[in-house]
Amino acid sequence: MKGSRNMNINNWLSILVAAGILATPAMAPCAAPAAKQTKQAAVGTKPPKTDYSFLNGKTGTTNASVFSEEKLTAAINHKLGSRITKFIYTDTMNSCLSMLKSDRADFMLTSDVSAAYIIQRNPELKSVILTDNNGLAMILRVSDIALRDKLNSAIKKLKASGELAGLYKKWISDLPVGREPIMPRIEKTSYPETIYAGVSGDMPPLDYVAADGRPAGYNVALLTEISKIIGKNIEVISIDAPARFAALQSKKIDVFFWQRVPDKAEKDKLKNDAGVQAFYKKIAVTEPYCVVKTVFLLKK
C-alpha cells in the first residue's frame, strides 16, 4: 500500500509540474535572479536546505487549478517534507491576498516577482523563496504550431538583441516602489491578422491589469514588441487565469500570456507519464521568456 501511495503522489507531482503549479529547474536569460544563481553555482556554493516545518498544520491558498486542492497539498508535502493541512483555491491573486490578510489562510503560494510587488505595498508580509526556477512561457492550442513558431522566433530575437532584458528591467526590476505599471493599448496597424492574447493580471507586475481593467506594463510592452516582429495585430483580453484552457479551446483567445513550464530535461523524465503526455497533447508552449521562483507569502 505504501509503495502504491508513493507512486500516486509521484504521478500527482508529475502532472502538477507539467501544468506549472510546482517549480522545476528552467532557465531563461531575462531575469536578474537567474543570473545571480548562475554566478553562485560557478563558485561551487550550495544553498542550505530550507526547513519547511513552519508550514506544518497550516492552510495555504493559491489560484485555482485544473487539479484538486487535495492533490496539490499532497504533492507539495511530498516535495518539501512538510505537513500542510490543506490548500484553498481562489479565482484571483487578489482573493488569495484577501484570505491571507483575513487569516482564512496562513500562507499564499505565488511567484517571487509578485511577492516583491505585494510586500512593497503590504510591509506586514514576508516571503520564503524556493530555490527552484520556473520558466514562463505562452501557451496556445496544439493546432497553432505555426503561430507558436512565429512567437518563438520573436522571443529569440528579443533575447538576442537585449530588448527582452531591457523590458524586464524597465517594467519589473526598476519599477519605482509604489508606482503602478502604465502602458497604452497596443495600437492596431494595417496588418491583416489579429491575434487575441489573454492576460489575467495574476502575476503583477509581470502580468498586470490596472484597476480600470486595462492590461498594462510588462505584458503589454512585450506583446507590443512581438506584434512588430511577427507582423500581426495583437489584441489583449483580460480573462481569469483558471479559465485559460477553456478560453483557448473555445477560441476566445489564441494565446495565454503566462504558464509555468518544465524544461526539456524535466519533460524527458516525465515522458512515460501518461497524465503528463495527455496534458501536453492539448497545448503548445513557446520558448520561456522569463524566469521566476516559487514563493510562500505569509505574515511576519
The domain segmentation of the chain, as residue ranges, is: 2-133, 134-292
262-270: long-range pairs with CB below 8 Å, 24+? 262/17, 262/18, 262/20, 262/24, 262/26, 262/135, 263/24, 263/25, 263/26, 263/27, 263/135, 265/25, 266/17, 266/24, 266/25, 266/26, 267/18, 270/14, 270/17, 270/18
For all residues of the chain together, what is the average pLDDT?
A: 82
What's the average model confidence in pLDDT over 90-97?
A: 91
First to last CA, the chain: 40
Residue 23: its pLDDT value, please? 45
Query: Percent of the chain at pLDDT above 90?
Result: 53
Backbone angles phi, psi at 30, to 5 degrees: -85, -25
pLDDT of residue 214 exceeding 80, the answer is yes
Residue 38: its pLDDT value, please? 39
Q: Quick count: other Cβ atoms within 10 Å of Cβ 278?
A: 11
Contact predicate 53/82, CB 8 Å = yes
pLDDT in tens, 8-30: 555 545 545 545 555 443 333 44
Residue 64: its pLDDT value, please? 79
- Asked if the 134-292 domain carries CATH number 3.40.190.10, the reply is yes
Is the full-model pTM beyond 0.95? no
